[in-house]
Structure 1
Amino acid sequence: MALQWMILTYIVAAEAALAALVTLPSPKPLKNRLVSLVSLILQPALFIVPFAGFQLLDLYWKNEHRLSCTSEICTAAERDRYEKSIYKAQRNVILCVSACLLYWCVYRICKYHKEAQRLEELEKRYKNE
């Protein structure tokens, strides 16, 4: 299980880096090439959405079937272990949601950039006529 969360962490970091890279101001030819490259990467990277969704379902199932340690019989070590598992689950939920949200943000940024580029070309064509 730890490998899946490590992979998801790296993917979230890569998506955050791509979002920062695409939104930074840069010269127009460089920006166009960068956005087209990121757009090519986005289609195969769509696997992250169902992967994160499956992880969320797994977290939900584990939360529903987790043994709770709320009685007075529990030792301090058991209570600490229970609280640690709750904190890990909350962290992993945030990781899954941020993976989907960052993917969507990068997708929308690229789409808006392509639409602006298309409108600029259209405006240039009308000015030339």
Structure 2
Amino acid sequence: MALQWMILTYVVAAEAAIAFLLTLPSPKALKSTIVSLISLTLQPAMFIVPFSAFQLLDIYWKNEHRLMCSGETCTASERDRYEKSIYKAQRNVILCCSACLLYWCIYRVCKYHKEIQSMEQVEKRYKEE
């Protein structure tokens, strides 16, 4: 299970780097090259959305079936283990949501950039006429 979370962490880090790269100001030629390259990888990278959704369902299922550790019957170590598992689950939920959100942001930035390019081409044609 830890391998899945490590993969998701690396994907989120890569998405954050790509989002940062897309939003940096750069010359038009370089920006269009970067956007076209990233647009090619968007469809194969779509796997992250169902993967994150599956992980969220797994977290939900484990949360619903987790043994509660409250009251006088729990030892201090059991209570610490329970709290640690709750914190890990919260962290993993944030990781899954950020993976989906970053993918969506990258997709929208690429789409906006392509729309701007097409509008500039239309404007250029109108000016030529």
TM-score (normalizing by structure 2): 0.99
Q: Name stretches of at least 5 consecutive residues in structure 1 with no aligned partner.
A: none
Look up the match of 2:120: 120
Query: For 1:68-123, what per-residue CA distance to the aligned partner results, in whole angstroms no more than 9, with x for missing partners?
Result: 10021100000000000000000000000000000000000000000001000110
Matched, 1:27 2:60: no
Number of residue pairs aligned between Structure 1 and Structure 2 = 129
Aligned-partner Cα distance in 1 for 2:43–2:82: 39
Q: Which amino acid aligns with 1:78?
A: E
Aligned to 1:59: 59
Counterpart mapping for 1:104-115 below 5 A: 104-115=104-115
**Aligned-pair CA distance for 1:49:** 0.1
1:6-49 superposed Cα distances (whole Å, 9 cap, x missing partner): 00000000000000001100010000010000000101000000
- Counterpart CA distance in 2 for 1:114 and 1:20 is 18
Give the structure-1-normalised TM-score: 0.99
Aligned counterparts of 1:55 and 1:127: Cα–Cα separation in 2: 52
2:9 is aligned with 1:9: yes
Structure 1 CA distance for aligned equivalents of residues 97 and 70 of structure 2: 29
State the one-letter code of the partner of 2:117. Q
Runs of 4+ in structure 1 deviating by more than 3 angstroms, as ranges, are none
Alignment-derived partner of residue 84 in structure 1: 84
Structure 2: runs of 5+ lacking an equivalent: none
Task: Indicate the SS of the match to 2:74.
Answer: coil
Identity across the alignment (%): 78
Measure the CA separation in 1 of the matches of 2:73 and 2:43: 52
Q: Give me the CA root mean square deviation.
A: 0.4
